[in-house]
Structure 1
Amino acid sequence: MTKQYFGKTLEGQAVYLYTLTNKRGIQAAIMTYGGIMLKLEVPDRNGIFEDVLLGYGSLEDYLRTGNKPYFGAILGRYANRIANGRFTLDGVTYQLSVNEGPHTLHGGKRGFDKRVWGVEEVYQEDGFGLALSYLSKDGEEGFPGNVKVKLVYTLTNDNELRMDYTATTDKKTVVNLSQHNYYNLAGAGNRDVLGHILTIHADRFTPIKPDLIPTGEIRSVAGTPLNFRKPMTIGARIHSKDPQMRYARNGYDFNYELNRTGNAMVLAASVFEPNSGRMMEVYTTQPGIQFYSGNNLNGSDIGKEGKGYKKYGGLSLETQHYPDSPNHPNFPSTELLPDQIYRQSTIYKFSVR
């Protein structure tokens, strides 16, 4: 593990970049601003290493652009959307900051992706870890409660990138944490992801309205372009005229209800890139996963090595609770009480074939 000074925020807070390297040569670089993962270098079937994450090359680029795509960032207090930036707990209605039209996306105008996190190096038998911590104060972005959050990134010698989340609160609140890496297993900026072969272990999804807010229904994927229960290229049905696909801006931006019993970690999804042979499997304790196919990328985001990230240039598989859960009692609850500990874990495992 190495540490380097990476710059400072507009408020003058120092930001550091940590690089984790496992015994097989895989590298992950993470900065303390937003807990953002800048780089993830993994080998192809010929042993050639390449960075598979979309993102910018400097802190200044993240600050200048506001990182509107949320490249590599920690998402919170509430990952995904809350309708009209509003929810009610015990008869009290909370109004959040809104940053996507009338709605709140990924925690509001200044979510966890725009905060400087505390850091502690963690050394474990199977790899190196980086424990990031942050205190989200009562009323921040409109959310109730002082919430202490920790995310431990671990890079294991089995080529697993593990993310372990915990949170506590001193007042009833809602919490939904996730992370927004954009993956391109052909190498970031090389080509689009439409040829990636995707499997999602989910029989149902949460349909959306034209503003991307869930309707509250939980619907079968059968007979729809959202059905990835068997391996399918991402591009095979991406131009479907299905209304749901049009609502998602001509691509995928959907939450899937994972097939599971109990709260144990399950295999949620897998992605294979035929040209490089790179494979990524996603395991999680979370009830849902958001598959996003980079529909809003348009080439204007100039990333590392001067590469412009075009439409469908990367994919995200964000493990999570469902969007807008506080306003849908039939969705798994995201409420957190003072006597509880929020715990969730996700593993992204890399291999070749």
Structure 2
Amino acid sequence: MMRFSKTSIPILLATTASAAVLPWNSTIPPPDANGKYTLRSTGIVASFVPYGAAISNLFVADKHNSTRDVVLGWENATFYTEDPWHDHYGSVPGRYGNRIANASFTIDGVEYKVDANEHNGTNTLHGGSNGWDYRNWTVTALTDSSITFSLFDADGEMGFPGDVLATSTYTLTPYTWHITLTALSLTKKTPLLLTSHVYWNLDGFANPDSEKVYDHELHLPFSGMRIGVDDNLIPTGELLPNKNGSVTDFWSQPKAIGKHLNDTERGPDCGAGCSFYDNAFLVGPHDKENQYVARLNSPWSGVEVKVFTDQAAFQIYSCAASNGTKPIGKSTQGLSGRPAVIQEGGCVVMEAEDWIDGINNPEWGRKQIWGPEDGLLTFNARYEFSTVY
């Protein structure tokens, strides 16, 4: 059970009264002075920005009777458009998340070339250089505990065929953040892969001993396999075992993300010159409603999050590209007297999604081409927070 002190952020102390969804023809109230919309429920507060339909702040209690902002983001909504790194902070990439080999795919015998925005033009990442997380979504519904964003993605944008209508709904209930993403192909068959790209540091960069997440404990209880990739992180078609006790074994028991930091074993499947994790772990059969697919906790803050989802894969990226040049973007994070920058290993991304680049690996049998006749594609995930003492 979470505990709050009198010095905790006041909005976290309030429970949320039910509010009616605003009629579609009403004017949605404007965001705050920082361009954010803030939602509240018991033990949890979160803020969102229209750019990329992104989460920018997520406050929960820690074991020190303080609140922690546990996701990476920016202080002001305008910073998202100015960010030269564009690390997809808290956003909804699309229309096809993760990577597409050779920036191409074939539908009914027709080859499509899409925007090649990674690895010197050899593949597509997160929908291209004007993917969904580079665009301002429209707020279409708002309550004090839920917000819905919508986006129309036109035929031909980034080379993808067909019009697509997407929505992203975020809802808070006591100690829990819920995500529902949808995509509807309106006119032509097109690839769709939905995901949420959130960066986590459960200490809010305030741990005096380390600003990194290497001591965060991760458990992936249904991920005994992973997708093999080449030097550019493109799937090779192989499905590889995460052998008991190996670097990629998070299923047999929980372990610290940095447990193998000094080991010589890295494996051939986290990219050329890789440092630690950038892997798509497969999610085996499980009770999607009652069994978590990932659990992350920090021994210093005591913050723990359990992830429940209906998706069949789970990407783990341990922020290897961070090198101390990018600032921590919010005054709600960091430690006085220490440089407010993100070091290598300063965060971890957890992306629930389908099998990456399934459109170019038809032998996997993944349903990733959606036409008007296929109806609505949905993505569901929830993040349950608690405090471990």
Same fold (TM over 0.5): yes
Structure-2 residue corresponding to 1:226? 248
Contact 1:52 1:183 in 2 (8 A): yes
Q: 1:188 to 1:20 in 2, by over 3 A?
A: farther
Q: Does 1:163 align with 2:179?
A: yes
- Distance verdict in 2 for CA 1:263–1:52, change over 3 Å: closer
- What is the aligned counterpart of 1:99 among 97, 117, 132? 117
Cα distance 1:239–1:214, how it changes in 2: closer, same or farther (>3 A)? farther
SS at structure 1 position matched to 2:78: helix
Give the RMSD, CA atoms, in angstroms: 2.0
Matched residues in 2 for 1:262 and 1:27: separation?
28
Distance 1:260 1:111, change over 3 A: same
Q: 1:243 aligns with which of 267, 271, 287?
A: 267
State the AA in 1 paired with 2:191: V
Question: Is the 2:39–2:47 Cα contact (8 Å) retained in structure 1?
Answer: yes
Give distance in 2, aligned partners of 1:207 and 1:47. Answer: 42
Matches within 5 A, 1:60-71: 60-71=78-89
TM-score, with length taken from structure 1: 0.91
Which one of 193, 196, 199 corresponds to residue 179 of structure 1?
Answer: 196
Q: Distance in 2 between matches of 1:91 and 1:274?
A: 53
The aligned residue for residue 120 of structure 1 is 140
- Residues 52 and 188 (structure 1), Cα distance of their counterparts in 2 relative to 1, 3 Å cut: farther
Q: Percent identity?
A: 31
1:275–1:263 distance in 2 versus 1, CA, 3 Å: closer
**Consecutive unaligned residues in structure 1, runs of 5 or more:** 8-15
Per-residue deviation, 1:226? 0.6
Residue 92 of structure 2 corresponds to residue 54 of structure 1:
no
SS in 2 for 1:141: helix
Secondary structure at 2:105 match in 1 = strand
Q: 2:379 aligns with which of 329, 334, 344?
A: 344
Which structure shows the higher strand fraction?
A: 1
Structure 1 residues 263 and 144, CA, compared in 2 at 3 Å: closer, same or farther?
farther
CA contact (8 A) 1:54 1:188 kept: no
Structure 2 SS opposite 1:295: coil
Deviates more, 1:52-61 or 1:196-205: 52-61
Amino acid at match of 1:329: P
Mapped to 2, the partners of 1:177 and 1:295 lie a distance apart of 23
For residue 62 of structure 1, give the secondary structure of its aligned residue in structure 2: helix
In the TM superposition, residue 67 of structure 1 has moved relative to its aligned partner by 4.4
What secondary structure sits across from 1:343 in the alignment? strand
Give per-residue Cα distances to partners, 1:209-241, cap 9 Å, x unaligned.
111111111111014311101100000114443
2:219 to 179, 182, 199: 199
Instruction: Report if aligned partners of 1:188, 1:314 keep a CA contact under 8 Å in 2.
Output: no
Rounded Cα–Cα distance in structure 2 between residues aligned with 1:244 and 1:189: 34
d(CA) in 1 for partners of 2:386, 2:268: 33
Correspondence 1:17 to 2:36? yes
- How far apart are the structure 1 equivalents of 2:220 and 2:116? 31
Q: Distance in 1 between matches of 2:65 and 2:161?
A: 49
Write the distance in 2 (CA, Å) between the matches of 1:232 and 1:122: 39
Deviates more, 1:132-141 or 1:265-274: 265-274
- The structure with the larger Rg is 2
Report the equivalent of 2:294: 269
Matching of residue 4 in structure 1 with residue 31 in structure 2: yes
Q: Aligned in 2, Cα 1:149/1:311: closer, same or farther, shift over 3 Å? A: same
Equivalents in 1 of 2:150, 2:259: separation in Å? 41
- The amino acid across from 1:236 in the alignment is K
What residue identity is the alignment partner of 1:243? G
Cα deviation, residue 343, structure 1: 1.1
Alpha-carbon distance in structure 2 between the residues aligned to 1:20 and 1:254: 32
Whether 1:282 aligns to 2:304 is: no
**Residue from 209, 219, 231 that aligns with 1:210:** 231
Q: Which moved more, 1:128-137 or 1:326-335?
A: 326-335
Q: Go from structure 1 to structure 2 and tell me whether the alpha carbon gap of 1:145 and 1:262 turns closer, same or farther (over 3 Å shift).
A: farther
What CA distance in whole angstroms lies between the structure 1 residues aligned with 2:36 and 2:240?
42
Structure 1 residue 250, shift from structure 2 partner: 0.9
AA partner of residue 90 (structure 1): D
3-state SS in 2 of match to 1:61: helix
Alpha-carbon distance between aligned partners in 1 of 2:188 and 2:198, rounded to the nearest angstrom: 30
Amino acid at match of 1:214: P
Judge conservation of contact 1:265–1:285 (CA < 8 Å) in 2. Answer: no
One-letter identity of the residue aligned with 1:163: I
Over 3 Å counting, the alpha-carbon distance change for 1:238 and 1:80 in structure 2 is farther
The size of the alignment, in residue pairs, is 340
- How far the C-alpha of 1:43 sits from its partner, in A, is 0.5
Deviation of residue 181 (structure 1)? Answer: 1.1
CA distance in 2, matches of 1:55, 1:36: 9
> Normalized against structure 2, the TM-score is what?
0.83
Residues of 2 paired with 1:232 and 1:238: CA distance? 12
Query: Does 2:342 align with 1:309?
Result: yes
Whole-angstrom distance in 2 between the partners of 1:111 and 1:176: 12
Mapped to 2, the partners of 1:90 and 1:266 lie a distance apart of: 38
| Whole-Å separation in 2 of the counterparts to 1:177 and 1:239 | 34
